[in-house]
Structure 1
């Protein structure tokens, strides 16, 4: 049951008194969850039978069932139930997105664990093979970007965005393998399961995630990123800029750890691209 959708009355099914009750409920969920039917009726200036009819109109069996359904709403976060009103001109949106990206990078710079970055880069460069595990959107993009950055430096790497496959890859990992993981929340049970399996098999792991999280606890080398999420649910998370910056830092460190190998691989890729594309070696490495 989507009680919030019903309370929002997007279909226009509620009467005038019911709309009044719905507004009161959305404005003070905690009060309603902890009040009696008489207390709610008194605050809304309606009769208890009106409250009962209101609850049934929303698809609940009665007031008690209504409170149970209402109590479940905050679990998804009230910012998703009652989004903040945001201005949305192109100028304002551009300013908001760019400012948040700059702030994410500034905060990342202040909290970077340089020793963890150095240790992670040495593990990645020394690996015979690298698996990169991520899922659920942002982390899928992050591990795919690690793949994109490291293969051109001569690393043997594969990224995977499927938890079931990750478990199988973890079970099959051979000595010399290093596994990299990404989790923005740090609470991805699928990734935790893979990391715990890898630890039992003595396969080194590196993760980017929140500190003091289940994912962090299950990994060997942890690069922590702890940034506030903000309340605008419509704006893409600016935290991903911080994650991509860490990927670039790791890739640069990996390149410097074996400059000859990295330069040789980059040169071979560039020669092929220039020959097949337009003969202009000033363009980016790739497209």
Structure 2
């Protein structure tokens, strides 16, 4: 099992414990025992630790061997461009038009929208708040888990939580989204397919690119990919709002 995790760390993040045990040709209890030996209280906790370790490793800039006479700044420029193009292509592949349209309709009809994100996703939550507010939607963004936890139970059936997470595994965010859903609010998420946050959401816009590229979590490509998704979503919301006005 340990060899399987080490050989396919990104893939493990999207597996359930049953999928893990099946691929490792073992049992669910054996997987749980391995998790505990590694200091994790179950398979979800192991995936969270793995995601954090991968993120930390991938934040390190990729270094290239320069040929004699090459300009190091030009090489950096080319490297950032290549990684950005890769992230945008992967994000386009991940996005499903049906999910984007459904998310846009949900957000356009909301009485109030609360956008949740933590860490790097918190900055994107603030950007999303700015964009949705410009469209005339009642929107607020919270990047503090304590504030999220205090406002989520106050939401109702006409409200929407827009949860943004690069990994979809952040435990604080999972708990907050669960609170909002229990209060009757609808949940739209931007997170990897099959992640805990995606599974809680009524509609998830998939962004799995970080599983395909060792460089996705580096800041410039990650920001570009997420901003592209927001661009598409906002355009879809404008279309939905126009359709609602014509009804």
TM-score > 0.5, shorter chain as reference: yes
- Alpha-carbon distance in structure 2 between the residues aligned to 1:216 and 1:83: 29
Tell me if structure 2 keeps the 8 A contact 1:229–1:239: no
User: Within 5 Å, which residues of 2 pair with 1:234-253?
Assistant: 235-236=218-219, 238-253=221-236
3-state DSSP class of the match of 1:238?
Answer: helix
Of stretches 171-180 and 125-134 in structure 1, the one that deviates more from structure 2 is 171-180
- Alpha-carbon distance in structure 1 between the residues aligned to 2:228 and 2:125: 13
Q: Please state if 1:140 is matched with 2:122.
A: yes
**Cα RMSD over matched residues?**
3.1
- Alpha-carbon distance in structure 2 between the residues aligned to 1:211 and 1:260: 29
Q: Please state if 1:230 is matched with 2:187.
A: no
The runs of at least 4 consecutive aligned structure 1 residues that moved more than 2 Å come to: 74-80, 82-88, 258-262
Deviations for 1:161-192, whole angstroms, at most 9, x for unmatched residues? 00111011101113311110111011111110
- Alpha-carbon distance in structure 1 between the residues aligned to 2:134 and 2:61: 43
User: Within 5 Å, which residues of 2 pair with 1:6-155?
Assistant: 76=53, 79=57, 85-86=63-64, 89-137=72-120, 139-155=121-137
- Alpha-carbon distance in structure 1 between the residues aligned to 2:81 and 2:146: 36
- Alpha-carbon distance in structure 1 between the residues aligned to 2:207 and 2:136: 27
Number of residues of Structure 1 aligned to a counterpart in Structure 2: 189
Q: Which runs of 5+ in 1 are unaligned?
A: 1-29, 31-67, 69-73, 263-287
Query: What TM-score do the two structures reach when normalised by structure 2?
Result: 0.68
- Alpha-carbon distance in structure 2 between the residues aligned to 1:146 and 1:230: 26
Looking at both structures, which has the greater relative contact order when contacts are Cα pairs under 8 Å and sequence separation is at least 6?
Answer: 2
Q: Please state if 1:189 is matched with 2:191.
A: no
3-state DSSP class of the match of 1:187?
Answer: coil
- Alpha-carbon distance in structure 2 between the residues aligned to 1:216 and 1:260: 27
Tell me if structure 2 keeps the 8 A contact 1:211–1:226: yes
Equivalent residue for 1:254?
A: 237
Higher radius of gyration, 1 or 2: 1
Equivalent residue for 2:148?
A: 166
Tell me if structure 2 keeps the 8 A contact 1:120–1:221: yes
Deviations for 1:21-64, whole angstroms, at most 9, x for unmatched residues? xxxxxxxxx9xxxxxxxxxxxxxxxxxxxxxxxxxxxxxxxxxx
- Alpha-carbon distance in structure 2 between the residues aligned to 1:83 and 1:191: 28
Q: CA deviation at 1:153?
A: 0.9
Deviations for 1:231-276, whole angstroms, at most 9, x for unmatched residues? 598x5352332211111111111112224999xxxxxxxxxxxxxx
Tell me if structure 1 keeps the 8 A contact 2:153–2:179: yes
Q: CA deviation at 1:84?
A: 6.1
- Alpha-carbon distance in structure 2 between the residues aligned to 1:79 and 1:105: 21
Q: Which runs of 5+ in 2 are unaligned?
A: 1-5, 7-37, 39-49, 67-71
Query: What TM-score do the two structures reach when normalised by structure 1?
Result: 0.59
Cα separation, partners in 2 of 1:259 and 1:232, compared to 1, 3 Å: closer
